[in-house]
Structure 1
Amino acid sequence: MIPSPEFYVIYNGSRNYPPQKILRLSDSFIDKKAGSEVPLELNVKVFNIKHPECTLDFSSCQPLDNYVKFISLVEEEKSSGASDFMTRAVLKAQKQNLLPDYLRRKTSEVISMVFNEYDYETDIQVKTEEAERRGHAAGLKEGTRNARIETAEILLKEGVSVQTIMKSTGLSEEEILKIK
Structure 2
Amino acid sequence: MAEKLHVVRNQKDTVFRMLFREKKELLELYNALNDSAYNSPEDLTICTLENAIYMNFKNDISFLLDSEMNLYEHQGSYNPNMPLRDLVYIAKQLEKYTRDETIYSSTLVKIPVPRFVVFYNGTDGQPERQILRLSDAFEKETSEPELELKVLMLNINFGHNKELMEKCRTLREYSQYVDRVRKYAKRMRIEEAVERAVTECIREGILADFLSSQRAEVIAVSIFEYNEEEEMRKIRASEYKNGKEDGIAQGIKQGIEQGIEQGMVETCKELGVSFEQTVARLKLRLGISEQEAQEKVRHYW
TM range (shorter): 0.5 to 0.7
Alignment of 1:35 onto 2:139: no
- Secondary structure at the residue paired with 2:120? strand
Number of the residue aligned with 2:197: 89
Alignment of 1:9 onto 2:125: no
Number of the residue aligned with 1:67: 174
Answer yes or no: is the 8 Å Cα contact 1:93–1:99 preserved in 2. Answer: yes
Alignment of 1:20 onto 2:129: yes
1:1-180 pair list within 5 angstroms: 1-3=66-68, 5-13=115-123, 15-27=124-136, 29-47=137-155, 49-50=157-158, 54-79=161-186, 81-83=187-189, 84-95=192-203, 96-98=205-207, 100-101=209-210, 103-104=214-215, 105-117=217-229, 119-120=232-233, 122-123=235-236, 125=239, 128-130=244-246
Task: Give per-residue Cα distances to partners, 1:110-167, cap 9 Å, x unaligned.
Answer: 221112216356248299212799xxxxxxxxxxxxxxxxxxxxxxxxxxxxxxxxxx
Shift in Å, 1:48? 5.7
Change (3 A) 1:88 1:114: same
Structure-1-length-normalised TM-score: 0.53
| Count of residues in Structure 1 that have an aligned counterpart in Structure 2 | 129
Answer yes or no: is the 8 Å Cα contact 1:7–1:43 preserved in 2. Answer: yes
Give distance in 2, aligned partners of 1:70 and 1:130: 36
Change (3 A) 1:56 1:11: farther
Give distance in 1, aligned partners of 2:144 and 2:248: 30
Give distance in 2, aligned partners of 1:23 and 1:99: 34
Answer yes or no: is the 8 Å Cα contact 1:10–1:48 preserved in 2. Answer: yes
Change (3 A) 1:109 1:26: farther
Segments of structure 2 that go 5 or more residues without pairing to the other structure are 1-65, 69-112, 250-301
Computed over aligned residues only, the root mean square deviation of the Cα atoms, in angstroms, reads 3.5
- Secondary structure at the residue paired with 1:107? helix
Change (3 A) 1:45 1:16: closer
Answer yes or no: is the 8 Å Cα contact 2:116–2:150 preserved in 1. Answer: no
Amino acid at match of 1:61: C
Change (3 A) 1:106 1:78: closer
- Secondary structure at the residue paired with 2:131? strand
Number of the residue aligned with 2:268: none
Structure-2-length-normalised TM-score: 0.35
Percent identity between the aligned chains? 16
Amino acid at match of 1:113: E
Segments of structure 1 that go 5 or more residues without pairing to the other structure are 134-180
Give distance in 2, aligned partners of 1:111 and 1:91: 15
- Secondary structure at the residue paired with 1:46? strand
Task: Give per-residue Cα distances to partners, 1:67-114, cap 9 Å, x unaligned.
Answer: 1111222133234x1222122212323333416437444431222111
